[in-house]
Structure 1
Amino acid sequence: MTLSVNTLDKLDWSALAAQLDSEGYAVLPRLLDADEARLLAREAGTSDALRRVSLDSLDLGRGDLLYFDALLPQPWAQWRTEFYRQLASVANRWNEVLGMPYRFPAKLDAFAERNRRAGQTWAQSHLNRLGTDDYLALHQRSDGEHVFPLQVVALLTAPGKDFTGGDLVLTEQRPRMQSRPTVVPLGLGDAAIIATAQRPFKGSSGYYRVNLRHAISRVRSGERVGVELSFHDAPYAANDQHTFDLDA
């Protein structure tokens, strides 16, 4: 169960980059077929390699986060490698228009090495498992010197069949404006690229930085299983607290 390089290469990355610029997210329908997605969801409840963390213990909602180790299993390891290869140029362009000197290397291995040298060794990629009345509060993963501005999420169970509620919600805060919420529609096997914490927005006087967070709304019935892949790791000193930047 792997993601073919050709699968991503065949996507219209110019159109995806334009949507990321304008909205801060882009949906990739049916990146996994239904059987693959359901198999990966079932594995979420049986793998001994996943570190379970209760959202309630983090004051971040209700439900479970199931963290991968630094060496992700397939298909997630390949997803991170191939998505990073496509997204590094978008990330660098965002930094350029914001006047930020930092540039991301072309390959994930080189970026991971920068993380290690900076003490960022706490893997953040995880599965999330939410049952009835569970939810994930607004947050962003922006801890550390090396923060990649994009991440990938995917849905492994079917809305309306396996669960109800449980929408992916993004909020964007622009200077001197109210927060703008967006519900991102995801179906079984769909993935989405979303902004991690900040992105450029083009206003009348040029580009400025807007702040973003994401959440999963309350699950009304059933069980929702998804995955969140981060390209940067968190500082190891924060691992016992599992720190997040929460919405005020």
Structure 2
Amino acid sequence: MSTVKGPGARTDAWSGRVESGDWQAITAEVDEYGGALLPRLLTPEETVRIRQLYGQDELFRSTVDMGRHRFGQGQYRYLDTPYPEPVERLKQALYPRLLPIARNWWARLGRPAPWP
């Protein structure tokens, strides 16, 4: 589902969800606390589908056993590329909003931003 707003501006359901956030407030929270809550980016049904991916070993490039590294119990996994559609689409929608925040933090640290 895609819609066009204005000349050449393309939005879809994923970017619409990202854009529904108050990015001025989100940026301020990241600046003050190091993190911020975003608007709901997934429906409950999408959340269930993504959670069900965890058992599909072929989708992941590595798995980390947290206990082995003394980080508590459990594990986390790194998805391999290509990412599942919701992950890729959210990544694409979030990047333009998170990039200025990341660049600003790198500038504060006196480092050149490594991202295009």
1:116-157 CA-to-partner distances (Å, cap 9, x unmatched) read: xxxxxxxxxxxxxxxxxxxxxxxxxxxxxxxxxxxxxxxxxx
Query: RMSD between aligned alpha carbons?
Result: 2.3
* Contact persistence 1:3–1:75 (CA under 8 A): no
Question: Is the counterpart of residue 19 in structure 1 residue 29 in structure 2?
Answer: yes
* Contact persistence 1:49–1:68 (CA under 8 A): yes
1:59-89 CA-to-partner distances (Å, cap 9, x unmatched) read: 3322122221132222111222221221111
Structure 1 alignment gaps of length 5 or more? 106-248
CA shift at 1:47, angstroms?
4.6
CA shift at 1:3, angstroms?
5.4
Q: Alignment partner of 2:37: what SS? A: strand
CA shift in 2, pair 1:94/1:53, >3 Å: closer
Q: Which runs of 4+ in 1 moved over 4 A?
A: none
Q: Determine the C-alpha separation between the residues in 2 that align with 1:74 and 1:28.
A: 20
Q: Determine the C-alpha separation between the residues in 1 that align with 2:77 and 2:113.
A: 31
Q: Alignment partner of 1:77: what SS? A: helix
**TM-score computed with the length of structure 2 as normaliser:** 0.71
Q: Determine the C-alpha separation between the residues in 2 that align with 1:85 and 1:91.
A: 10
Question: Is the counterpart of residue 4 in structure 1 residue 14 in structure 2?
Answer: yes
Which protein, 1 or 2, shows the higher relative CO under an 8 Å CA cutoff with sep ≥ 6? 1
CA shift in 2, pair 1:46/1:69, >3 Å: closer
**TM-score computed with the length of structure 1 as normaliser:** 0.37
* Contact persistence 2:30–2:36 (CA under 8 A): yes
How high is the sequence identity, in percent, across the aligned residues? Answer: 28
Which structure has the highest strand share of the two? 1
1:56 aligns with: 67
Structure 2 alignment gaps of length 5 or more? 1-11
Match 1:96 to one of 104, 107, 113: 107
The total of aligned residue pairs comes to 104
2:95 aligns with: 84
CA shift in 2, pair 1:95/1:48, >3 Å: closer
Question: Is the counterpart of residue 69 in structure 1 residue 91 in structure 2?
Answer: no
